[in-house]
Amino acid sequence: MISDPLISQSATLMDSWQTILQELRVIAVIRAPEITIGLGMAEAVAAGGIKLIEVTWNSQQPQELISQLRARLPHCIIGAGTILNKSQLQEAIACGAQFLFTPHFAPSLLENAIAHKIPLVPGVLSPTEIVHAWQAGARVVKVFPIQTVGGADYIKSLQGPLGQIPLIPTGGVTIDNAQSMLAAGAIAVGLSSNLFLSSLIQEQNWLGITHRTQMLMATIKV
């Protein structure tokens, strides 16, 4: 199991990143319109069993949200997503982000993250992009948006030629299809809107989100 020292030490986290993903399997992606909503979203999924939480950089006050979540949820691993440039990457690292996601592949951002010993998962789509990111040093790549290219069938089709490259599908992953993505070969999956239903967010129904999280985790075969 993952120990507190592993979670708190970024160098160790980077060394064990694939193992952590293989164990935890699910990343909750939070895009918060205000910081109090973001806190509620994160605490709700943490209560449901998710330990990997990504705060997108187009959330309100993402630095403060990440900082507060690091303090409130010490048993979780808190990262930053939708990182587009070096300035955002540096700000994310400074506020305590333990991993980074980008919607695209930028070699300079990957190099910068590697230098800081922070796992960075670049967003890619085609086999060419996947291989380029992997050869540049990405230990894991995000396949985004997965829904537009066939979902689990696309992940499965990549396993023959590219099975050595760990993949995280996002953008269309749901409670109903998450397990099929993992069964097709994904190392982990990222969920956002299907986990955080807009109606539940508007009502601040955190118990409802915790219940959906528990439903999701019950379907995941670790």
Show the domain range for 14: 4-219
| Phi, psi of 105, deg, nearest 5 | -110, 115
Quick one: pLDDT at residue 71? 98
- What is the number of other CB atoms lying within 10 angstroms of the CB of residue 10? 17
Residue 1 has pLDDT above 90, yes or no: no
Tens digits of residue pLDDT in 44-103: 999 999 999 999 999 999 999 999 999 999 999 999 999 999 999 999 999 999 999 999
Q: What is the pLDDT of residue 88?
A: 98
Q: How far is CA 123 from the centre of its chain?
A: 11
Q: Cα(113)–Cα(138) distance, rounded to whole angstroms?
A: 10
Could you say which of 43, 51, 111, 142 is catalytic?
Answer: 142
Query: Could you give the CA distance from residue 213 to residue 217 in angstroms, rounded to a whole number?
Result: 6
| C-alpha–C-alpha distance, residues 91 and 96, integer Å | 9
CATH number for position 27:
3.20.20.70
pLDDT of residue 12: 74
Q: Is the pLDDT of residue 222 over 80?
A: no
Catalytic option among 54, 91, 156, 221: 54
Tokens at residue 148, please?
């537009």
Active site residue 117: no
Encode pLDDT of 164-207 as tens digits: 999 999 999 999 999 999 999 999 999 999 999 999 999 999 99
Query: Three-class SS of residue 26?
Result: strand
What's the half-sphere exposure (Cβ side, CA atoms, 13 Å) at 188? 23
Cα separation of 102 and 96, whole Å? 17
Residues 6 or more apart whose Cβ sits within 8 Å of residue 140: 17, 18, 21, 119, 121, 166, 167, 168, 187
**142 belongs to the catalytic site:** yes
Residue 23 near residue 125, CB atoms below 8 Å: no
* Domain count within the chain: 1
